[in-house]
């Protein structure tokens, strides 16, 4: 079941209605049952894997809390980590590891198991591991109520693609009594509507163009390929941020507050700022549970650079079992290290030239340069193989055709994606609206609050325009392929 499906359109109102009608003592059990139903809608066997991770981390946390001897605590935690990461490696990386083993040992042929990757496994295992590590570091007490903890791991709005919640934020909310609140429900529904707009109107429309160009890149010149990669960068942002808006909005309707996952990343003026604002729940997870335990920035500059690079390398591998993801993560790690190492020199140059870093001109050009670097990294990320990424770079070099940027490039790309009539204009206007909303949020404006504070007529105009745009220009297709969210595969 995915958010942009008719099934969810029926499922969510039914779950919400019964949630508020039930007595308080039964509500968590109802949400737990609904969450497992939501997840098992893909494959009933997935529920057993989810339950296994819940049971292992629940028992591990209880065992760690019952002993004060550090060696035993460490051993218990190691077992919990190995069991969960072992399941993740088996389902997600076994084929990749065996394929590479066959390359290393050409005389032997190991057969990779035929495994269907369980959707969202990277997200809920990381959330469960975060809880277990919080108990190990004694940041929280182990949760005694099994059903409450199971709901924390399986809570359906953020189960399959985050945000990856922290135990200190979400677990206590299951003890609160959430009454039906009209203002909160309106706010949540508006967030869900905006998320569907980002996903169905922008991301899925751009997907038609991007997929075609990447499948037949030899037919297009360098500028058209660059534009296609830039469109993919916008596509994946709208796809994943759109999912996050729907997740956060769904939880808000029910009375729960999930962490933000994006803060207008394309308005960032540096790679550091970009990664601080992109997939915040994953970035902060790696910071707290990998970067800091490795030593963070406490053991000198060189080790800080090493730790930064390792975190991004692991993060790249988290995204997928392929070398392009590993290289993408490592490349971003090198960019982070290089940018930090050159920061003193840059600051001296800006001071010498008397450039105000808060001025519009500096932010514009720094933001444009940062976006260009991000687009280049996403070429490595989106290409199905490293060899195709290299071939596309060669095509850009061989046929740059910069002049075509001011000519027919957009028309050719729109035509390649099957966009007809007013559809290309609608997509461009939707992207401009997205940039406007992001800019207002960057300026500390509560856009949703601003809309909801207006008169009834204006509010309904906004609702109907968004809904009408989704109906007229949204992409509809097979529930489990064409309109699936990109990050489900991670």
CA–CA distance, 64 with 264 (Å, rounded to integer): 40
CA–CA distance, 311 with 298 (Å, rounded to integer): 16
Helix (H, G, I), strand (E, B) or coil at 384: coil
Q: Which residues have C-beta within 8 Å of that of residue 66, sequence separation ≥ 6?
A: none
CA distances from 476 to 39, 261, 301, 479 (A): 22, 26, 50, 8
CA–CA distance, 231 with 215 (Å, rounded to integer): 15
Q: Is 424:410 a contact under the CB 8 Å cutoff?
A: yes
CA–CA distance, 173 with 440 (Å, rounded to integer): 30
Q: Is 404:304 a contact under the CB 8 Å cutoff?
A: no
CA–CA distance, 113 with 111 (Å, rounded to integer): 6
DSSP sequence for 445-471: --HHHHHHTS-HHHHHHHHHHHHHHHH
What's the count of helices (H) and strands (E) in the chain, helices before strands?
A: 21, 0
CA–CA distance, 87 with 325 (Å, rounded to integer): 20
Q: Which residues have C-beta within 8 Å of that of residue 415, sequence separation ≥ 6?
A: none
Q: Is 258:158 a contact under the CB 8 Å cutoff?
A: yes
Q: Which residues have C-beta within 8 Å of that of residue 174, sequence separation ≥ 6?
A: 28, 148, 151, 152
CA–CA distance, 262 with 234 (Å, rounded to integer): 13
Angle subtended at Cα 359 by Cα 354 and Cα 362, rounded to the nearest 5 degrees: 75
Tokens linked to 439? 């800019």
CA–CA distance, 254 with 153 (Å, rounded to integer): 17
Tokens linked to 398? 């061989």
Query: Residue 319 catalytic?
Result: yes
CB burial class (10 A; 0-12, 13-18, 19+) of residue 103? exposed
CA–CA distance, 375 with 388 (Å, rounded to integer): 16
The residue from 212, 264, 279, 319 that is catalytic is 319
DSSP state of 171: G
CA–CA distance, 146 with 168 (Å, rounded to integer): 16
Angle subtended at Cα 390 by Cα 385 and Cα 396, rounded to the nearest 5 degrees: 130
* Catalytically active residues, by annotation: 319
């Amino acid at each position: 079941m995915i958010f942009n499906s008719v099934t969810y359109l029926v499922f969510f109102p039914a779950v919400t209605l019964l949630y508020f009608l039930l007595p308080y003592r039964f509500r968590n059990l109802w949400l737990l049952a609904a969450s497992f139903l939501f997840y098992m809608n893909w494959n009933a066997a997935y529920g057993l894997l989810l339950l296994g991770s819940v049971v292992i981390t629940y028992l591990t946390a209880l065992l760690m809390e019952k002993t004060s001897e550090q060696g035993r605590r460490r051993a218990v935690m190691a077992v919990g980590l190995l069991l969960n990461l072992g399941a993740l490696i088996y389902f997600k990386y076994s084929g990749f590891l065996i394929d590479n083993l066959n390359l290393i040992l050409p005389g032997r042929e190991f057969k990779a198991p035929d495994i269907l990757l369980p959707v969202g496994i990277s997200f809920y295992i990381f959330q469960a591991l975060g809880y277990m590590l919080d108990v190990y570091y004694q940041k929280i007490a182990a949760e005694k109520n099994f059903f409450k903890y199971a709901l924390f791991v399986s809570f359906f709005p953020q189960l399959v693609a985050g945000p990856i919640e922290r135990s200190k934020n979400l677990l206590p909310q299951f003890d609160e009594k959430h009454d039906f609140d009209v203002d909160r429900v309106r706010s949540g529904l508006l967030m869900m509507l905006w998320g569907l707009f980002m996903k169905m109107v922008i991301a899925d429309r751009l997907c038609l163009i991007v997929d075609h160009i990447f499948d037949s890149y030899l037919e297009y010149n360098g500028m058209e390929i660059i534009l296609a990669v830039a469109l993919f960068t916008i596509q994946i942002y709208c796809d994943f941020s759109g999912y996050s808006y729907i997740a956060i909005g769904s939880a808000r309707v029910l009375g729960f507050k999930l962490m933000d996952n994006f803060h207008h990343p394309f308005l960032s003026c540096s790679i550091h700022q970009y990664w601080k604002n992109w997939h915040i729940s994953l970035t902060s997870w790696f910071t707290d549970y990998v970067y800091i335990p490795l030593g963070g920035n406490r053991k000198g500059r060189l080790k800080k650079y090493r730790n930064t690079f390792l975190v991004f390398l692991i993060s790249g591998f988290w995204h997928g079992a392929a070398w392009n993801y590993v290289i993408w993560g490592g490349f971003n790690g090198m960019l982070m290290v290089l940018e930090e190492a050159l920061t003193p020199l840059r600051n001296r140059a800006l001071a010498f030239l008397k450039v105000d870093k808060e001025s519009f001109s500096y932010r514009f050009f720094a933001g444009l340069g940062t976006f260009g670097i991000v687009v280049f990294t996403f070429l490595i990320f989106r290409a199905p193989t490293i060899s195709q990424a290299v071939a596309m770079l060669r095509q850009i070099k061989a046929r740059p055709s910069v002049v075509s940027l001011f000519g027919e490039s957009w028309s050719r790309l729109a035509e390649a994606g099957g966009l007809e009539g007013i559809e290309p204009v609608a997509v461009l206007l939707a992207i401009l609206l997205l940039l406007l909303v992001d800019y207002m949020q960057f300026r500390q404006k509560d856009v949703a609050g601003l809309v909801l504070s207006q008169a009834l007529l204006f509010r309904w105009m906004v609702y109907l325009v968004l809904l009408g745009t989704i109906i007229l220009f949204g992409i509809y297709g097979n529930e489990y392929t064409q309109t699936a969210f990109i990050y489900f595969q991670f």
